[in-house]
């Protein structure tokens, strides 16, 4: 069983308990549509299921007891190296993602309810996506995404 566990973060579950939640309930997540001043968006090549080996926008789940504003600051810090404020960014909508597998394995599906936000970088600075989640990263214009192995849930953000 593969699962990312960080016991230093309150609300983070061990692998067994997380698998139980995945099997029984949807997860709430925030996806970040990070745009640079060239009109390119940041994608990461996913290491883990679901969406393993697909290019995907950065983001992550909201933890139990974590307010959305706190989750947004935490996720932008982890993924972008700086905290951003949710109320200052462009809310793009609510999406649902359904996967046949999960971080807990092939036998447990995943259902995400995703809050998508466009984050426009005010300045260029070095970004290194979370290496526990991503093998690589790239900047790409929406019109060029279909030529790459970009996941259909990420493509939906730009349609």
Domain spans of the chain?
15-156
> Apex CA 86: angle with CA 84 and CA 129, to 5°?
45
CB atoms within 10 A of CB 85: 10
The pTM assigned to this predicted structure is 0.89
Tens of pLDDT, residues 8-54: 455 667 878 878 887 888 999 999 999 999 999 999 999 988 999 99
> CB-side exposure of 141: number of CA atoms within 13 Å?
5
Higher pLDDT, 18 or 76: 76
Rg (alpha carbons) of the chain, rounded to whole number: 15
d(C-alpha 140, C-alpha 135), whole Å: 16
pLDDT band at 116 (very low <50, low <70, confident <90, very high): very high
pLDDT of residue 71: 97
Q: Which residues have a Cβ under 8 Å from the Cβ of 107 and sit 6 or more positions away?
A: none
pLDDT of residue 13: 76
Write down the CATH number for the domain with range 15-156: 3.90.79.10
> What are the distances in angstroms from CA 153 to CA 5, 79, 109, 149?
25, 19, 16, 12
Q: Which two tokens stand for residue 114?
A: 């995703």
């Amino acid at each position: 069983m593969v699962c990312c566990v960080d016991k230093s973060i309150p609300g983070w579950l061990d692998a067994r308990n997380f698998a139980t939640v995945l099997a029984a309930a949807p997860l709430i997540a925030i996806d970040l549509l990070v745009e640079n001043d060239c009109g390119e968006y940041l994608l990461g090549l996913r290491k883990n299921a679901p969406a393993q080996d697909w290019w995907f926008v950065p983001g992550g789940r909201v933890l139990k007891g974590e307010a959305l504003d706190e989750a947004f600051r935490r996720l932008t810090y982890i993924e972008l190296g700086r905290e951003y404020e949710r109320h200052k960014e462009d809310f793009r909508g609510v999406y649902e993602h359904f996967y046949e597998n999960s971080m807990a394995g092939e036998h447990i599906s995943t259902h995400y309810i995703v809050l998508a936000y466009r984050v426009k970088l005010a300045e260029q600075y070095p970004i290194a996506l979370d290496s526990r989640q991503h093998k690589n990263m790239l900047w790409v214009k929406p019109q060029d995404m279909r030529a790459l192995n970009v996941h259909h849930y990420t493509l939906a953000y730009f349609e």
